[in-house]
Structure 1
Amino acid sequence: MENCHCHSATSVQPGTVAHPSAHPHPLDPLSAVEISAARQILQDAGKLTETSRFPQVLPVEPEKATVLSHRAGDAVERRLVLTVLDTATGAAAEAVVSVSAAELISWIPLNSHEHPYGQPQYLFEEYDLAAEIVKADPQWQAAMARRGLTELENAFAAPLAPGSFGRADEVGRRVVRSLTFMRNFPGDSPWAHPVEGLIVHIDLTERRVIRVEDDGDIPVPAAEGNYTPEFTGPARTSLKPIEISQPEGPSFQVDGNQVSWENWKLRVGFNAKEGLVLNTVTFRDGEEDRSVLYRASVPEMVVPYGDTTNTRFWISYFDAGEYLLGKNANSLKLGCDCLGVIHYFDGFVADDHGNPVKIPQVICMHEEDYGILWKHTEPGQDSVVRRSRRLVISYFATIGNYDYGFFWYFYLDGTIQVEAKATGIVFAGATLPGVPNRHAPEVAPGVIAPVHQHLFCARLDVAIDGLENTVEEGEVVGIPMGPENPYGNAFTHRRTVLARESEASRLADTAVGRSWYVTNPNRLNRVGQPTSYHLIPQPGPTLMAQPGSSVAERAAFATKHLWVTPFDPAERFPAGDYPNQHVGDGLKRWTAADRDLQNTDLVLWHVFGPTHIPRTEDWPIMPVDYSGFMFKPYGFLDQNPALDLPDGAAKHGAAEGGCCAD
């Protein structure tokens, strides 16, 4: 097994800027050359100073018609959109550049100082800056001294996005809040030792403390929360090895970012905000590659906390929109994150100065056995069995105390599954041991972890047999006893077209098996029904914050399990482009237009994720919490597409005739 220090990035040193490749694919991820070239274009245009920083650098995707008509060798214009922040003044702008033409296309100032506000994403250097400001502040030093905490070199200042609460000394300013944690010794996990009730409010532009809140005298928990081998003791020896071998190599083929696996074809992308992006997903049916998704990603998530204390009531992380999931992605390691015969994709993001940074092996792709796909036994005959397997494409991002894995599974029967894996360390506070707290269970002596949610939003730019689609809501329906149900056993199902946006913000309902079908009314299967795919939710609670609360406005997307919108290239992120300190944007505003949704180019936004009531077993590091959904063919294909799978029994030593006889 390789060493498992699985978070690293490699800086690409600036120098002579080479010209971008003349013939990339329109959907290829950004390269180091393109990021460098974009920065140089802004430099040459006189838009940068010594205090210019780059909170966000993303690709501009071309129009769908350009992508769908593209052929290898075609010239492609490559554009980037760069958010530029002047750290000396707080002024920000959004620039679009063409690296193909070496041209600045547009420069639009961001009006972050006026309603509805909104700040660019945080810079990595601002985390260190916040810590410096905190530790130099006399009020913070006095609060620590009052608690008897004198070894300030062991203090850890955790900078956190402040939300949006209309406070006069915060609105229109670039603000961060900092909580304090202690280490008992260098290398100690600080999360186990929260300094409860101490909040420092910081103006990052003016580089000063706005105010300090110092509420309470709860002792800092002393027990350690370390979880690495030097603290947990020798590893158990009872587990025997599991070896994954593919002596003939994997079944997938990779050409640049184009992947082919069995009947599936797709393009793998990556950017600093969304992380993993999948494009132009098709499933081969006979001699035809039939489209399923034009684009798919998890572009936003919110982590709202349910605590009422001053220390935590304001916490509601937008891990893409405030911190950038892709920029915080891990470099994955064999034996740590992925097992088997692996293909890795590297990723490139821009650092705070706009220079390219390589994240090696940021995306992992491999195959997994997945048990039985289909089986039947006729009386007096051997069983006929075929095994399932899946293609796994994944990445992990670490945002502060939490780690998130995003896994896309492709199955042999045409099913797509999306799974989010939440792990890491629960965000801790301090309490007097044994004191009940209905908002924050005690997970270790004197350590509390507030109730909270992890609400992910998947964006599915659907393309079921093309771009003209309609969404129907499906439910099972019981029939009252009577002439239509004389024996009481009958039930049926119904599907209702979601014709307009006002009808298409929906909650899941397990009592009636509510789910959603994306149909193509222009293509019929062999039983005369429109071809379709079926979105099957695995629902949990939506946003628990009350209507009218700040987070309910800012994370309005999380109040429903499903939203449907007509495609608009400007509508990429469900909480808006800049949710940091914004009063609220995104899906709620867009869908107020009540646009038509029938037989047109559609986007589905699906919200899922765990509501976490922390437990003692989540400490000091929590086992993975799984959530997700399925996207399955329903009348898309005329029969089971996996009838031609080979019998694998002979390769595994089954008796002659085996369990998988033809």
Structure 2
Amino acid sequence: MAQLPHPLSALTVEESAVARDVIRSLHPDTVLLFRQIYLYEPPKAQVAEFLELEHSGKLTDTTPRPPRLAQVWFDVGAREKTPKYAESIVDIGLKTVVSTRTTGPGQLSSLIMDEIREVVAACDRSELFQDKLRQFQLPPGFEAIVEPWPYGASDPTDDGTRFFQGLVYAVNKETGGDDSNFYAYPIPLIPVMDAKTREIVRVLDVATGGKDDPYQSKTCGQNVIDHCQAAEYLPEKLPQGIRNDLKPLTVIQPEGASFSIVDGNRIEWQKWSMRLTFNPREGAVLHDIRYDGRSVLYRLSMSDMYFDGLVTDPNGDVQETKNVICLHEQDNGIGWKHTDWRTGRAAVTRRRELVVQYIITLANYEYVFNFKFDQAAGITIETRATGIVSVVNINPGQTAPWGNVVSPGALAQNHQHIFVARIDPAIDGQANTIVQEESLPVPMNPETNPHGNYYEVRQTVLKSSAGVDLAPQNNRVFKVQNRAKTNPVSGKPIGYKVIIPPTQLLLADAESIQSKRAAFANHHLWVTKYKEDELYAGGRYTLQSKVEAEGVADAAARADNVEDEDLVLWTVFGLTHNPRVEDWPVMPVETLQVHLVPSDFFSQNPAIDVPPSKDQGSKIWTTTCAC
């Protein structure tokens, strides 16, 4: 009998097809719309037992393996009657359904690209929308373009109907071509589509006035984009051309990369090893992360984004998408350095990093996510925001306190981007504890601080699941410790320090829908006890949600004991983006980083053995300065 794939490997196309066929067999005469099919990770206890055998060299061909499970998200009765959404867990080997879950009131399934694309077609055939559009006179050569978006459930009168919306712009086909930057020409209309009927049910008029004008009234004329201005970003379209004073900068690896991929999805690099999978809700997921054979993290991911890896079409056919994840090495300057002032000898190493990168384009915005591993056993979770800021039309000469005019006629709204990284630690084992550490001043006194230069390092154990905040004035950081193991040098528990950027939390009023559906954004760090399939900080069903249900706030509210337990960290960080003109037409990247660094985990600098390196491929070019 063929050996099952590793428990922490993604589903194959063949396994996905088995899961699809199992669901089809249970609904032979019903219309099905498949949303997603991807790996349902086996119970952690089973995987941990398997990993222990694997890493101790005791794994054999006869070792029992956890069952291969697939989660299948699908609609029953789609298009012909009100569809019922279901999530089934399918045992691939037994070809049976293990369990099925359906949604409750106010819970809508996540979107798929096929249904959101319907907004464009619905606008094309909608007389309501076309009549609204005809009230505007577009300049010669311009055509309206609709960009589909999810619907945010901000209208309290909505009855739970599944909606999608569109943002409307104009593209200059005559002089700019199909790929001209249409965001520079916003049209103040928002069509709203009923997802069931695929018809436009209303079109909202967007106010274009400034700070002293009413929010809800028509404030623009017929020639709504005449005062807007082209803002191209493609290099061949720039009116000023591109720079011509850059010399080539070439990075080469003449002997190839230092990392290797074995057993399908196991990455080995320097002293690091890990397994990599991809799913449509979280993107890249890293499992069983170890340094020099020692366990550091069980699982690492960004919580709750949407991507394509194995793409499931509405009929349930699955195809693999290539080049979804980039894996590469990079140089990041000095790793460590010291110069002996007596002899003049300098010892220095370069800081090389292994980077797991993936990028998502959400309409106008791009998010770049990097998991970086360095030679000193550190992990960096990095988010970069770029792309084109979302703009609305604003009348000539007007300004508004809720945004900034970044181009004539284009107002970029103030907004926030808030991210969550889900960190499932395993610091030399699953029983871990979170310690809050602060550095606090101590008043001068003759007994303990006679000269006033001593400060206290105070540690507080977090005993119950909760949300906590940073205090940069106290240098507040958090450590994940394994208190069953002590460092042979310091005598302290081994651990890793978690350094979170002290960024601003959610600004929406606590009584607003935005705040109620994003409770996760109200603390910098959440600590919860591990629970199977509890993966999404914002809740299981976020589309048009009005409250955060089954999210991290609900998990923390259980007040579980998290001392010496299998626990999960949820780090919250983000950008409060008050746009500037320099963000236009494409925003330079803004970067945020969460760091996980060893803290008394080793007996010395783990990168002390990195060899000093000199890039033999690099050349020094000399010039003569006539000064």
The two structures have a TM-score, normalised by structure 1, of 0.84
CA spacing shift, 1:647–1:184, aligned 2, 3 Å:
closer
Amino acid at match of 2:17: S
The Cα of 1:570 is off from its aligned counterpart by: 2.6
Deviations 1:539-586 (A, max 9, x none): 210111111111111111111110000000131101111111222221
Provide structure 2 residue ranges, at least 5 long, that are not aligned to the other structure: 51-58, 206-216, 621-627
1:61 — aligned with what? Answer: 41
Counterpart of 2:575 in structure 1 is 610
> What SS class does the counterpart of residue 294 from structure 1 fall into?
strand
| 8 A Cα contact 1:42 1:48, kept in partner | no
1:28 aligns with 2:9: yes
Q: Provide the aligned length of Structure 1 versus Structure 2.
A: 581
Aligned to 2:453: 489
Instruction: Confirm whether residue 82 of structure 1 aligns to residue 45 of structure 2.
Output: no
Choose the corresponding residue for 2:260, options 247, 250, 253.
Answer: 253
| Whole-Å separation in 2 of the counterparts to 1:139 and 1:166 | 20
Q: Judge conservation of contact 2:44–2:532 (CA < 8 Å) in 1.
A: no
Distance in 2 between residues matched to 1:489 and 1:260, nearest whole Å: 46
Structure 2 residue aligned with 1:498: 462
How do 1:19-168 residues align onto structure 2 when only pairs under 5 Å count?
22-46=3-27, 49-50=30-31, 52-70=32-50, 71=59, 73=61, 74=63, 75-85=65-75, 86-88=77-79, 89-111=82-104, 114=105, 117-149=106-138, 154-165=143-154, 167-168=156-157
**CA shift in 2, pair 1:167/1:547, >3 Å:** closer
The range that moved more, 221-230 or 551-560, is 221-230
After superposition, give the CA deviation of every residue in 1:225-274 in whole Å (9 maximum; x if it has no partner).
32112311543221111111222222212102111111111111111111
- C-alpha contact 2:13 2:319 (8 A) present in aligned 1: yes
Aligned-partner SS, 2:502 = coil
- 2:457 is the alignment partner of 1:457: no
- Tell me if the contact between 1:181 and 1:193 (Cα under 8 Å) persists in the aligned partners: yes
2:228/2:410 contact within 8 Å kept = no
Give the 3-state SS of the residue equivalent to 1:610 in structure 2. Answer: strand
Aligned partners of 2:184, 2:35: CA distance in 1, in Å?
A: 31
TM-superposed deviation, 1:200: 2.1
Q: 1:180 aligns with which of 146, 168, 187?
A: 168
Q: 1:653 to 1:180 in 2, by over 3 A?
A: closer
What is the deviation of 1:207?
2.4
Q: Please report how far the alpha carbon of residue 125 of structure 1 lies from its aligned counterpart in structure 2 after TM superposition.
A: 1.7
Alignment-mate amino acid for residue 269 of structure 2: W
Q: Are 1:271 and 1:349, in contact at CA under 8 Å, matched by a contact in 2? A: no
- Residue 566 to residue 650, structure 1, CA distance change in 2 (3 Å): closer
Structure 1 counterpart of 2:388: 425
> Corresponding residue for 1:294?
298
Q: How does 1:203-218 map to 2 (within 5 A)?
A: 203-214=194-205, 215-218=217-220
CA gap 1:262/1:46 in 2 versus in 1, 3 angstroms: same
Alpha-carbon distance change, 217 to 148 in structure 1, aligned in 2, over 3 angstroms: farther
Provide, for residues 396-451 of structure 1, a one-character-per-residue CA deviation record: whole Å limited to 9, x for no partner. 11111111111011111111001011111111111123322111101111111101
- In 2: Cα distance, 1:153 partner to 1:36 partner: 45
**Contact map agreement 1:24 1:76 (CA 8 A) in 2:** no
- Cα distance change on mapping 1:653 and 1:609 into 2, 3 Å: closer
Percent identical across equivalent pairs?
33
Letter in 2 for 1:374: W
Return the letter of the residue paired with 1:124: M
Q: Structure 1's 45 and 434: CA in aligned 2 closer, same or farther, altered over 3 A?
A: same
Change (3 A) 1:150 1:387: closer
How far off its partner does 1:183 sit?
A: 1.3
* Aligned equivalent of 2:603: 638
| 2:256 pairs with 1:262 | no
String of CA shifts for 1:495-547, please: whole Å, max 9, x gaps: 1111012xx31111211111100000100001211001000112210111111
Distance (Å, rounded) in 1 between the aligned partners of 2:192 and 2:7 = 43
User: Would the aligned equivalents of 1:124 and 1:352 in 2 still touch at CA under 8 Å?
Assistant: no
Alpha-carbon separation, structure 1, partners of 2:619 and 2:133: 69
Indicate if the aligned counterparts of 1:157 and 1:179 stay in contact, CA closer than 8 A.
yes
Cα offset for 1:632?
Answer: 0.3
Structure 2 residue aligned with 1:435: 398
Residues 274 and 298 in structure 1, CA contact (< 8 A), matched pair in contact too: yes
- Letter paired with 1:297: S
3-state SS in 2 of match to 1:552:
helix
Give the match's secondary structure for 1:69: helix
Establish whether residue 191 from structure 1 lines up as the match of residue 183 from structure 2: yes
> Retained in 2: the 8 A contact 1:264–1:283?
yes
User: Could you give the per-residue CA deviations for residues 13-58 of structure 1, whole angstroms, max 9, x where no partner exists?
Assistant: xxxxxx9x742111101221122221111112226734x2223333
